[in-house]
Amino acid sequence: MFVFLVFPEDSVLSLVSTHPLEKRIDLKEKFDVVIIGSGLGGLVAANILAKEGKKVCVLEKNNQFGGNLQTFVRDKNIFDTGVHYIGGLGKGQNLHQYFQYLDIMDDLKIVQMDVDAYDKITFENDPVAYPHAQGHENFVIQLAKHFPEEIDALQQYVEKIKEACYQFPLYNLEAGDYSYGEALLTLKAKDYIDSITQNVKLRAILAGSNLLYAGDPEKTPFYVHALSVNSYMESAWRCVKGGSQIAKLLVKKFRSLGGTIQKYQEVNRFNFEEDQLVSVSTTKNDTFYGDQFISNVDPKLTLQIVGKERFRKLYFKRIQSTESVISSFSIYIVFKPKTVPYNNHNYYHTKTTEKVWTTQEYDEATWPEAYLISMNEDTKNLGYAENLTSISYMRFEEMKPWTDTFNTVAIENERGEDYEAFKARKIEAYLSEIEKKFPNLRSCIQSVHASTPLSYRDYIGCHEGGMYGFVKDAENPMKSFLSPRTRIPNLLFTGQGLNMHGVLGVTISAVLTCGELLGRDYLIARIKERLAAKEQSL
User: Would the pTM of this model clear 0.85, i.e. be above it?
Assistant: yes
Out of 32-46, 444-458, 484-498, the most confident range is: 32-46
Whether 19 shows a pLDDT value over 60: the answer reads no
What does the angle CA 499 – CA 503 – CA 507 come to, to the nearest 5 degrees?
65
The residue ranking higher by pLDDT, 131 or 496, is: 131
Summarised one tens digit per residue, pLDDT across range 274-331 is: 889 999 999 999 999 999 999 999 999 999 999 999 999 999 999 998 888 999 999 9
pLDDT recorded at residue 410: 67
**Residue in 449, 446, 445, 450 with CA at minimum distance from that of residue 435:** 445
Summarised one tens digit per residue, pLDDT across range 344-401 is: 999 999 999 999 999 999 999 999 999 999 999 999 999 999 999 999 999 999 999 9
Beta bridge partners of 106: none
Whether 22 shows a pLDDT value over 70: the answer reads no
pLDDT band for position 27 (cuts 50, 70, 90): low
Q: Average the pLDDT over 508-530 and give the result.
A: 94
**Residue in 302, 287, 241 with CA at minimum distance from that of residue 111:** 241
Euclidean distance between CA atoms 308 and 373, whole angstroms: 41
Q: Average the pLDDT over 414-428 and give the result.
A: 93
pLDDT band for position 16 (cuts 50, 70, 90): very low
Give me the chain's average pLDDT, please.
89
Q: Average the pLDDT over 148-157 and give the result.
A: 98
Whether 233 shows a pLDDT value over 60: the answer reads yes
* Secondary structure (H, E, C), 402-465: HCCCCCCCCCCCCCCHHHHHHHHHHHHHHHHHHHHHCCCHHHHEEEEEEECHHHHHHHHCCHHH
Euclidean distance between CA atoms 219 and 28, whole angstroms: 48
Compute CA 217 distance to the chain's CA centroid, rounded to the nearest angstrom.
21
pLDDT recorded at residue 1: 41
Half-sphere exposure of 494 (CA within 13 A, CB side): 32
pLDDT recorded at residue 211: 93
What does the angle CA 116 – CA 82 – CA 397 come to, to the nearest 5 degrees?
120
> How distant, in Å, are the alpha carbons of 255, 289, 303 from that of 46?
10, 16, 21
pLDDT band for position 177 (cuts 50, 70, 90): low
Euclidean distance between CA atoms 233 and 343, whole angstroms: 18
* DSSP type of residue 533: H
pLDDT recorded at residue 464: 83
Euclidean distance between CA atoms 69 and 65, whole angstroms: 8
**Residue in 376, 388, 375 with CA at minimum distance from that of residue 445:** 388
Query: Domain spans of the chain?
Result: 30-109+240-323+475-537
Euclidean distance between CA atoms 459 and 424, whole angstroms: 22
Euclidean distance between CA atoms 93 and 237, whole angstroms: 13
Euclidean distance between CA atoms 292 and 56, whole angstroms: 10
CATH homologous superfamily for the domain 30-109+240-323+475-537: FAD/NAD(P)-binding domain (3.50.50.60)
